[in-house]
């Protein structure tokens, strides 16, 4: 029984199993895309349905392998990623295709593509890193909102008489600033105000420097910082594992030396 569990664990942790799952998910995502094309979906409807069933069976088998590889069944549900996999597979197994909820069933099938996150350890690491960065990102977003708020109030007072109506009130000014922030024809907005207020370029240039350049680099800095932390943790784990192996080797050497000394006596 232990040998069987070891084999299952080896399959679960093997690179080929991860690559196979990734390939199937990508292939399934392509199939979902083709199903939206009437020229493909109508003549190949039955074939696509069979493919969908095969993918469903594979996902169930993969889930069973992951569950069987655990020393205890409940250990499987201690991982948030495993729970995520389980929920997606269970939802897509619901018999809704021939019911009044068929449209919902087709929509839920899209969520299978999200399993790509759990199929690739590298993607899981990136998602975990982004989750850890959320508190810092929230702080940056709050600061960015304050900048938007101040500039929107200023803009709605100064440029309220613009004929385009882009600064009529505070909320419209916020949307206009978001347009400037994303560089969507922002020069048109600036040139319109410069016809009345020639100095208004300072308003837009300062906003872009502060909001777009500075805060964008802050986002990058936070993500790079979390990636560095992740690399440091990985390195510490590797050093810890290496030190464990060294301790085991030293213990074996001491035992061998003790045996040799006893034979000499």
Task: Say what the pTM is.
Answer: 0.60
**pLDDT at site 251:** 79
What are the pLDDT digits (tens) for 4-57? 777 787 877 788 887 888 888 888 777 777 766 666 556 666 676 777 778 878
Q: Which whole-number Å values give the CA distances from 40 to 24, 33, 110, in the listed order?
A: 20, 10, 18
Measure the CA–CA gap between 150 and 170, rounded to whole angstroms.
10
End-to-end CA distance of the chain: 44
Contact 58, 24 (CB under 8 A): yes
One-character DSSP codes across 109-143: GGGGGGGHHHH-HHHHHHHHHHHHHHHHHHHHHHH
Residues in the chain predicted with pLDDT less than 50, given as ranges, are none
- Neighbouring C-beta atoms of residue 88, cutoff 10 Å: 20
Average pLDDT value over all residues in the chain: 79
**pLDDT at site 204:** 93
Burial-class residue 85 by CB neighbours within 10 Å (0-12, 13-18, 19+).
buried
Residue whose C-alpha is closest to residue 173's, from 149, 193, 194: 149
Q: CA 103: distance to chain centroid?
A: 26
Domains along the chain with CATH numbers: 2-119 (1.20.120.350), 125-260 (1.10.287.70)
Measure the CA–CA gap between 10 and 65, rounded to whole angstroms.
10
- Which residue is listed with tokens 């992951």? 66
Q: DSSP 3-state helix, strand, coil percentages of the chain (rounded to 5)?
A: 85, 0, 15
CA angle 112, 82, 76 (to 5 degrees): 145
**pLDDT at site 149:** 92
Measure the CA–CA gap between 92 and 135, rounded to whole angstroms.
33
Measure the CA–CA gap between 208 and 186, rounded to whole angstroms.
10
Residues in Cβ contact with 32 at an 8 Å cutoff, skipping those fewer than 6 apart: 109, 110, 113
CA angle 158, 148, 175 (to 5 degrees): 80
């Amino acid at each position: 029984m232990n040998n069987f569990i070891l084999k299952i664990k080896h399959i679960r942790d093997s690179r080929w199993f991860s690559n196979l799952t990734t390939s199937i998910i990508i292939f399934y995502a392509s199939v979902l895309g083709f199903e939206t094309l009437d020229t493909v979906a109508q003549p190949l409807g039955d074939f696509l349905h069979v493919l969908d069933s095969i993918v469903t069976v594979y996902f169930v088998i993969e889930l069973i392998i992951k569950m069987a590889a655990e020393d205890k069944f409940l250990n499987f549900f201690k991982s948030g990623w495993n729970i995520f996999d389980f929920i997606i597979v269970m939802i897509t197994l619901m018999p809704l295709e021939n019911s009044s909820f068929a449209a919902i069933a087709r929509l839920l099938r899209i969520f299978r593509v999200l399993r790509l996150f759990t199929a690739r350890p590298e993607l899981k690491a990136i998602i975990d890193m982004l989750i850890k960065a959320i508190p810092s990102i929230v702080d940056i977003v709050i600061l960015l909102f304050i900048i938007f708020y101040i500039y929107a109030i200023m803009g709605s007072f100064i440029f309220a008489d613009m004929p385009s109506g882009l600064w009529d009130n505070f909320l419209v000014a916020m949307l206009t600033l978001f347009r400037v922030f994303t560089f969507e024809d922002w020069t048109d907005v600036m040139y319109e105000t410069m016809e009345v207020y020639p100095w208004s370029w300072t308003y837009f240039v300062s906003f872009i420097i502060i909001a777009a350049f500075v805060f964008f680099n802050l986002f990058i800095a936070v993500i790079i910082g979390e990636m560095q932390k992740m690399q440091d943790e990985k390195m510490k784990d590797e050093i810890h594992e290496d030190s464990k192996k060294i301790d085991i080797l030293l213990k074996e050497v001491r035992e061998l030396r003790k045996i040799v000394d006893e034979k000499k006596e």
